[in-house]
Amino acid sequence: MFSLFNSPNPKDYDIKRLRRDLADEFGAQGAAFSGGLGFMEMMEVESASPEKLLKIARQEGVNLEKYRK
């Protein structure tokens, strides 16, 4: 587990699966609410660095333990 002061190491996580799941979630939100916001978030997820992707996941309340290698 990581503390609030330490960032998780991207090498410890399945970044490819996390990226796909977040993109799918944001894409579904965009379609469900007919808004561009979900689409913009999906595009950000697809181009985010592994570190940024982990930050986005934490902000969205994703259980990162599901993605731990």
pLDDT in tens, 6-61: 678 999 999 999 999 999 888 777 666 655 666 778 889 999 999 999 999 999 89
pTM attached to this predicted model: 0.77
- The answer to whether residue 23 is domain-embedded is yes
What pLDDT, in 10s, does the model give residues 46-69?
999 999 999 999 998 999 999 999
- The answer to whether residue 53 is domain-embedded is yes
Average pLDDT, the chain: 84
What is the extent of the structural domain holding 51?
12-60
HSE toward the beta carbon, residue 59, CA cutoff 13 A: 9
- The answer to whether residue 26 is domain-embedded is yes
- The answer to whether residue 2 is domain-embedded is no
CB 54 within 8 A of CB 11: no
- The answer to whether residue 1 is domain-embedded is no
- The answer to whether residue 45 is domain-embedded is yes
Total tally of structural domains belonging to the chain:
1
- The answer to whether residue 22 is domain-embedded is yes
First-to-last alpha carbon distance for the chain, in angstroms, is: 13
- The answer to whether residue 67 is domain-embedded is no
